[in-house]
Amino acid sequence: MRNAGMALGGGVLALMALVRLGAQPAGPLVLAVAVDQPGAPIASTMYGIFFEDINFAADGGIYAEKIKNRSFEFPDPLMGWKRAAVDGARGSFAAATEVPPSPANARYLRITSEAGRYGVTNDGFRGMGIRKGERYTVSLLARRRGDGPTSLVAQFEDPRNQAQGETLLNGLTTNWARYRGTITATETSGSRTRFRVLADGPGTFDIDMVSVFPEDTWQGRENGLRRDLVQLLKDMKPGFLRFPGGCIVEGRFLDGRYQWKTTIGDPAERTLIVNRWNDEFANRATPDYYQSFGLGFYEYFLLSEDLGAEPLPIINCGMACQYNSGELAPLDAIDPYIRDALDLIEFANGPVTSSWGAKRAALGHPAPFNLKLLGVGNEQWGPQYIERFALFEKVLGQQHPEITLIASADPNFRSANFSWQSDRLRELNADFIDEHFYQPPDWFLKNVGRYDSYPRTGPRIFVGEYAAHVPATGPQNMRPSTLEAALAEAVFMTGFERNADVVRMSAFAPLLAHVDAWQWTPNLIWFDNLRSFGTPSYHAQQMFGANRGARVLPMTLNGNAVNGTGGVFSSAALSEGGREVIVKLVNPGGDAREVAISFGGRTAGGEATSTTLTGDSAGENSLAQPARVAPTTEKFAVTGTTVIRALPARSLTVLRLPLAPR
Ligand code: AHR
């Protein structure tokens, strides 16, 4: 990069002289940062994560379980399972319910082997990813019938029915018990691998909760998460983790809503329900999409802790999804919903002597999770929502004034109801309003100043879901995750930062998508059963999250305070401790630009860092080319009152510029 790190003690005038000498044909933008006039604090929650089980994000995704329909509780109990017979073995199998291992897990599989190694194979989630030499923990509940087999063989199998590693599970009795073993994989395979359980002799046996996890989960936890995916989240340095969604919170009908109490404790006791994205989109129907809740609220709290992010659960407010049924819990029957919220706060924060605090402790976390944020409803609108939010706010405000409540804006932000609802929430003194924007890239550029005119008092804004939607292409109607989209989102984020007194939280949505099982595009991170990569939008989020800064700094471009002057969008912040100026610059146009940055009379001095994301407008990442669009970082020395940097065409640049001591 030309002129990288050049710094001129003579300031802007010297720069102008340089330009006149013809070293740089286009005039540089003069960016003046008022370092000595720091404005609002930038909230630690400014950049966070939106998590929803859509696109196989949880089951089949970050939740590292490899067995689909492990408890035979799908409405079609055999979905994902088929006959496995080695060398002409014979037998039969069927779902059964007589004396199950637990009432919450009412169905199991009964298998009879007549001859040879007979059993069942599980397809996994679009196959299974295994790595040669790595260890996998097999666990299942089993019993034999009468003089059925006392041993089972558990194997990975390849498409030619050859074993790719196995373990023996010995000592079956006629009572249900859990058996565990370890398979060391003998091959690496992303989607062609299956898993089978075979009788090691003739007779009848029952199996349930058949589970296979890699030993190498995040933090090595049992019932754990995929390490690569959690690492990508951790690298974002998120300020909060919102869970479990999204529309998942609402359900199509109230009986399909997310009920956190059914998602904690022994995974075998968690009641499975259909995933609402199973058949939401006819062109991307996913009939095998259910919620096992193996990743439940306790695991979400642990994940928040691991990420160093504030947990932000969203709870149902007595309203099903208004894009679907819009079913309402009557106002005089809303208490159980409010009770769920109260109990959740006790589960997260209560002493171990409290009823729900004791449950948290029993799960292995006696220390509180220090919950501070709670969302009431997702994408709800109309008087029905205001009535219900008011009831929640009254009770929670009285009993838990320490909890910040987040209210839903009308997702149709162009509607008259959007303003009506925001006004009502202001009257109710809501702490936060959660606004959502899924719009074309262009919209984000035009609306960069959206929050400039928001009231400076009253509810703060949570931009809870947003993404730039480039028009869909190809037979699958997939919206691409391009650099153009990432830059549009980055532009919008400079608007958050400049309005840090109003916007205190934000998150791109949705987060995760399986390349063979998605319903929605675009997403931040894609994965298959072994690999994962961040989109250009991921990198933009990561660059903002890792370089948030502590206080916003006023700035002008060519003397103009309007964001976007000269086609360049920007924000500036003082770092924690005040030793660096962090400048974010987005140049979405097709021409390279140059900026001359001054510090309101202060002097730069020391080693600076520049991180740049640039490339083709339509540039995307993929499993084959995971880093085609990825940031590059360089270090350079700065000194003097002006720092000059080149901004490539179509780029996001984050500069960390050290200030010399006074
Ligand atoms: O992010 C995908 C969906 O978009 C969310 O579930 C919902 O809140 C929004 O409509």
**Residue 561 sits in a domain of what CATH number?**
2.60.40.1180
Between CA 417 and CA 661 the distance in angstroms is 52
Residue 147 belongs to a domain: yes
Residue 576 and residue 632 in one domain = yes
Taking 70 as the threshold, does the pLDDT of residue 320 lie above it? yes
Q: Is the CB of 247 under 6 A from ligand 1?
A: yes
464 lines ligand 1 (CB under 6 A): no
Residue 191 has pLDDT above 90, yes or no: no
Nearest to 506 by CA among 46, 23, 65: 46
Does the residue 543 lie in any domain? no
Residue bearing the CA closest to ligand 1, atom 8: 246
Task: Select which of 52, 157, 327, 379 is catalytic.
Answer: 379
Instruction: Tell me whether residue 409 is in a domain.
Output: no
Whether residues 35 and 86 share a domain: the answer is no
Q: Of 196, 214, 232, which residue constitutes the final position of a domain?
A: 214
- pLDDT above 90 for 301: yes
215 is annotated as an active-site residue: no
Whether residue 106 is contained in a domain is answered as yes
The tokens for 342 are: 């109260």
Length of the chain: 662
Ligand 1 and 245: CB distance under 6 A: yes
| Strand 203-214, strand 135-145: pairing | antiparallel
Q: Which amino acid residue places its CA nearest to atom 5 of ligand 1? A: 246
Q: Determine the Cα–Cα distance for residues 346 and 356; give it in Å rounded to an integer.
A: 6
Give long-range contacts, CB 8 A cutoff, 24+ apart: 620-628.
620/480, 620/481, 620/482, 620/483, 620/535, 620/536, 621/481, 621/526, 621/533, 621/534, 621/535, 621/536, 622/526, 622/533, 623/515, 623/526, 623/528, 623/531, 623/533, 626/531, 626/533, 626/534, 627/533
- CATH code where residue 126 lies: 2.60.120.260
* pLDDT reading at 22 higher than 70: no
Single residue among 163, 187, 214 that ends a domain in this structure: 214
Q: 477: pLDDT confidence band, cut at 50, 70 and 90?
A: confident
Yes or no: say if 158 and 164 are a contact pair by the CB < 8 Å rule: yes
Inside any domain, residue 137: yes
Q: Which of 158, 186, 214 is the last residue of a domain?
A: 214
| Domain assignment present for 180 | yes
| Confidence tier at 26 by pLDDT (50, 70, 90) | low
- Looking at the predicted structure, is the pLDDT value of residue 348 above 70? yes
Ligand 1 centre and the CA of 246: distance in Å? 5
State the distance from the centre of ligand 1 to the C-alpha of 414, rounded, in angstroms.
17
35 and 92 fall within a common domain: no
Mean pLDDT within 615-629:
98
On whether both 85 and 209 belong to a single domain, the answer is yes
For 309, 397, 438, 466, 525, the CA distances from 505, given in Å and listed in that order, are 12, 21, 17, 12, 20
Pocket lining: 321 vs ligand 1, CB cutoff 6 Å:
no
pLDDT for position 654: 98
Collapsing DSSP to helix, strand or coil, 35 comes out as coil
Range list of β-strands (E), 320-379:
373-376
Inside any domain, residue 193: yes
Ligand 1 atom nearest residue 247's Cα: 6
pLDDT > 90 in the chain, percent: 93
- State how many domains the chain has: 2
Distance CA 519, CA 521 (A): 7
What mean pLDDT do residues 556-575 have?
96
Torsion of CA 546, 485, 462, 392, to 10 degrees: -120
Do residues 31 and 150 share a domain? Answer: no
Q: Tell me: do 576 and 641 sit in the same domain.
A: yes
pLDDT of residue 561: 96
Predicted local distance difference test score (pLDDT) of residue 475: 76
Residue 35 and residue 106 in one domain? no
Domain identity same for 89 and 30: no
Q: Report pLDDT digits (tens) over 105-114.
A: 999 999 999 9
**Neighbour tally for 627: CB within 10 Å:** 10
Q: Are residues 128 and 15 in the same domain?
A: no
Of 164, 179, 167, the residue nearest 209 (C-alpha): 179
Instruction: Say if residue 20 is in the same domain as residue 90.
Output: no
Cβ atoms 556, 31 nearer than 8 A: yes
pTM above 0.85, yes or no: yes
Mean pLDDT of 572-597: 97
Residue 367 falls inside a structural domain: no
Question: Mean pLDDT score of the chain, rounded to an integer?
Answer: 95
Q: Containing domain of residue 183, as a range?
A: 81-214
